Structure 1
Amino acid sequence: MAASLGTHVVLRGTHETRIKSQFLCRKEQNNRIGFKFSKHKAIQRAIFVSKQEFAGLDERKSPDEVKEEIKKCYELINRLGRGVVYLGSSRMGPSHSHYVQAQDLAKVIANLLDCTTWSGAGPGLMDAVTLGAMLAGKPVGGFKIGREAGEWTSSNFHSYLSSENYLTCRFFSAKKHGLVDAVVRNNSFDKTAAVALPGGIGTLDEVFEILALIQLEWIGSKLHVPFLLMNYDSFYSKLLEFLNDCDGWGTVSKGEVASLWKVCNSNSEASLWHFF
């Protein structure tokens, strides 16, 4: 039973509390067999919780919140336009060679496809591609997660992008919806692509999600969407070996993974590839 008291709610319920355990001894001479039993007593308890906590117990609101975030992602894409989605590490800073390469690549592809550059709007390689696209004079957009590894963890705001260019997501599922929708081609005029840069767990999570969607033809079923894996300094070579070995285990077909993306060892190789 619940009753309201100002800013708090009283929850009353009956709980069984064990009071005492007793047992009868077995007496062979009287042919009586003992058994163990427990006595219980019903005790009324009152629990005080805040109304906010009570609302959380009463209804899970996260599905509605995720839905609203996804809608905001779609609105941002409709405003900025679809384009190239970059997936990459948040921990490789400006002094890292991969940062420099990622920035140069984003600049080249932004000019080549003349489209919006999308990323997780975070630090590291995400920052590199954002700056690269801005150097090309092309629009940028991003879906930033509230908690990000490395720098920029104390604020949900981007350090230099306008708030009109990115959305800070509370839920990873909403962020992923945004990244996927930004790369889908609705017509032949949409010039989009997915580019996987070196990264860790979060990057691999997003890479394999897009890879699976391409495999299942949820992406690119009608209009081809290029997917580039940037294997800078053989960063992904061990992963590629593992995926090739999966053929021997029967979990993927021979050449199946290779058909889903283009592995590039350098920016020049990527820029010379025929996207469409």
Structure 2
Amino acid sequence: MNYSRPERRQGPSLVRGGLVPESTHDQRLLDRRGPTGWLHEDPWRVLRIQSEFVEGFGALADLPPAVTVFGSARTGPDTAEYELGVKVGAALAKAGYAVITGGGPGVMEAANRGALEAGGVSVGLGIELPHEQRLNDYVDLGIEFRYFFVRKTMFVKYASGFVALPGGFGTLDELFEALTLVQTRKVTSFPVIMMGVAFWTPLIDWIRDTLMASGKISPQDVELVSVTDDPDEAVRTIMEADRRGE
């Protein structure tokens, strides 16, 4: 008998079949449509949000120095980008860093795989989505979050830097949030490295030729990010920043 049913992770819980809700916790938190009675439930939502912070802090506090790696969930395992993710994860692990990803497939899986196969610590921070995305099999420590902003805090708080491989909106979101935190000195020792020169060069050109040229950012802001194809160079950049304490 086939028991295949819809399923969804909701924080630490798993629901299947008719118990799968039509929306996620984030959607319900941010949606202002419909009856206003839900407004009176917000204080209780705050407690749930608080519990996610407590759970995340408790699970990640004892990690060794770590680096967060981002990239597309849609990257296939037979691609050069996936192979680059494996190499980055392995290089970071060999240098003594835990590797933190979003825990999904694609480049995230590749980085977790590289870290695990190199004997390092492999961490996945998942998120509740409308369509189920399970943690990949290469995660040693996995945490499922309901709220994006809690998960984003964990990506930054326990990382010594960010490595962004080719990706879509999610990767760009995390990339620019990291750059904003560095630009505003909210984090003070945090190299941001974009891996995949051919993929990222048009974006760097736009940042320089449009944002900087029109005065939207300063010339020194362009220097907040490094671009490379070399995993060893990426690791050296992170290690040098750690030694400088910048």
TM-score under structure 2 normalisation?
0.75
Counterpart position of 1:146: 128
Post-superposition CA distance 1:60-96 (Å, at most 9, x none): 2333222211221111211333401111111102012
Greater RCO structure (CA 8 Å; 6+ sep): 2
Counterpart position of 2:104: 122
> How far apart, in 2, do the equivalents of 1:247 and 1:115 lie?
34
Pick from 212, 227, 236 the counterpart of residue 247 of structure 1.
Answer: 212
Counterpart position of 2:137: 160
> How far apart, in 2, do the equivalents of 1:82 and 1:270 lie?
15
Within the alignment, does 1:197 sit opposite 2:172 as a pair? no
Contact residue 104 and residue 136 of structure 2 kept, 8 A? no
- Residues 94/198 of structure 1: CA separation in 2 closer, same or farther (3 Å cut): same
> How far apart, in 2, do the equivalents of 1:274 and 1:202 lie?
22
Within the alignment, does 1:83 sit opposite 2:60 as a pair? no
Counterpart position of 2:156: 180
> How far apart, in 2, do the equivalents of 1:271 and 1:207 lie?
17
Matched AA of 1:261: V
Matched AA of 1:154: E
Q: Which runs of 5+ in 2 are unaligned?
A: 1-34, 241-246
Q: Secondary structure at the match of 1:275?
A: helix
Counterpart position of 1:226: 191
Post-superposition CA distance 1:181-215 (Å, at most 9, x none): 111xxxxxxxx221111110011101111111111
Counterpart position of 1:131: 113
Q: Secondary structure at the match of 1:86?
A: strand
Aligned residues: 204
- Residues 210/159 of structure 1: CA separation in 2 closer, same or farther (3 Å cut): closer
Counterpart position of 1:47: none
> How far apart, in 2, do the equivalents of 1:229 and 1:137 lie?
24
Counterpart position of 1:8: none
Within the alignment, does 1:66 sit opposite 2:65 as a pair? no
Within the alignment, does 1:101 sit opposite 2:84 as a pair? yes
> How far apart, in 1, do the equivalents of 2:49 and 2:187 lie?
22
Matched AA of 1:56: W
Contact residue 128 and residue 144 of structure 2 kept, 8 A? yes
> How far apart, in 2, do the equivalents of 1:273 and 1:181 lie?
19
- Residues 98/228 of structure 1: CA separation in 2 closer, same or farther (3 Å cut): same
Matched AA of 2:154: G
Counterpart position of 2:229: 265
Contact residue 109 and residue 138 of structure 2 kept, 8 A? no
Post-superposition CA distance 1:202-254 (Å, at most 9, x none): 1110111111111111111xxx322211124x101111011102122110112
Contact residue 65 and residue 98 of structure 2 kept, 8 A? yes
Equivalent residues in 2 for 1:203-218 (5 A)?
203-218=171-186
- Please tell me the root mean square deviation across aligned C-alpha atoms, in Å: 2.2
Matched AA of 2:98: T
Bigger helix share = 2
> How far apart, in 2, do the equivalents of 1:81 and 1:267 lie?
20
Q: Secondary structure at the match of 2:73?
A: coil
> How far apart, in 2, do the equivalents of 1:255 and 1:58 lie?
46
User: What is the identity percentage for the equivalent residue pairs of Structure 1 and Structure 2?
Assistant: 27
Matched AA of 2:114: G
